[in-house]
Amino acid sequence: MGWALLLQRWVGPSLLSVASGEGSVVWRTGALYTQRHVGHFRSPSETHSSMAEEAKKLAGYAAVDNHVKDNHVVGVGSGSTIVFAVDRLAERVRQEKLNIVCVPTSFQARQLILKHGLVLSDLDRHPELDVAIDGADEVDAALTLIKGGGGCLTQEKIVAGCAKHFIVIADFRKASSTLGQQWKKGVPIEVIPMSYVPVSRTIAKLFGGEAVLRMAVNKAGPVVTDNSNFILDWKFENPQNWAVVNTTIKMIPGVVETGLFVGMAERVYFGMEDGTVSVRDPQIN
C-alpha cells in the first residue's frame, strides 16, 4: 500500500526532518543518522544503547574465538556482556563439536551454562582453568579493573585467579585512562554484614571519599551477594595506587574481597561504536 509522509519540527538547535515514500526513513538530528521505518523512530539515547549492545557482542565473540580451544575448561563470568560470549561458546560447541567444560562465577552464569546445554562444573572438580572470560565495569590504561557492579566480585576474582589466562570483554563505554573517568558508582567491596559500618568508616579514614551500603532496588534493605554478604560502594575522590589500596582494604577485618582487579587481566577486548574490536594489552614498562 502506497503512502507518503512529511514531518518537520525543531529539536533544540537542530532541524529534524523525515520524508518517505515506500520503504525506510532517514532521521537526522545533528550529525546522527539512523535509518528506521516510520512509526519506529530511534532516539539518540536508544541508538547509543543499541551500539553498546552490538559492541558487547563483538567483544564477546572475539574473546571466545581467540582464546577458547577444544578440551578447555572455561571460567564463565557474570553480567550483560558475558551473555554474548556464552552464546558464541555454545555456537562453537555445536558447530565444531568441541569438548568444553564451564565453571560459573555466579548463579546467573550457572543458568546461562545450563540454558545452552553446556557442561557445568566447579572448582572442586576443575581447580585449574585454561581461560576465564568476564566483563568489567571499567578498565584503565594499566588493565586495572573495577568489577562488581552486579555483585559477583568475590566469585569472579576466585575464578579469574584459577585461570591460566584471564580475558576481559567490554563495550566502548568501559574504557578509561584512569579509573573513575567512566564508572561513577565507586569500587564495590564485599563485607561481612556485621562489619559494614566500621569497614566504611575505616576506608573513608584511610583513603577519603565515602563507602556506602548498596541498597536493593526491588526489595527492602541492602543487596545480598551470592555469599550472603553485603556490598559497600566506595566512591573515591582522587587517583590512587590501586595495588596498595587493594591490599590495604583487604586487610581490614570484615572485608571479604574488593572489586579491584590489579595485574590480573591478560587482555581486554573492547567492542567499538564503529563496529570494530579494539584490543588492549598490559603496558610494557
Q: Which residues are catalytic?
A: 156
The alpha carbon of residue 161 and the mean position of all alpha carbons in its chain are separated, in whole angstroms, by 18
Looking at residue 198, what DSSP letter applies? H
Angle at the Cα of 138 (from 278 to 235), degrees rounded to 5? 160
Given a contact cutoff of 8 angstroms between Cβ atoms, the answer to whether 278 and 65 are in contact is no
Grid cell in block for residue 268:
581486554
Given a contact cutoff of 8 angstroms between Cβ atoms, the answer to whether 111 and 152 are in contact is no
Q: CA distances (Å), 239 to each of 148, 166, 181, 182, 183, in order?
A: 19, 25, 10, 13, 13
Phi–psi pair at 228, nearest 5 degrees:
65, 30
**Can you point out the beta strands (E) in the chain?**
5-11, 14-20, 25-29, 32-36, 73-76, 101-104, 119-120, 129-134, 138-139, 145-146, 163-171, 187-191, 210-213, 230-235, 255-258, 260-261, 267-271, 277-280
Q: Which of 112, 61, 63 is nearest to 88 (CA)?
A: 61
Grid cell in block for residue 284:
610494557
- Please identify which residue in the block is written with the cell numbers 581461560: 131
Looking at residue 194, what DSSP letter applies? G
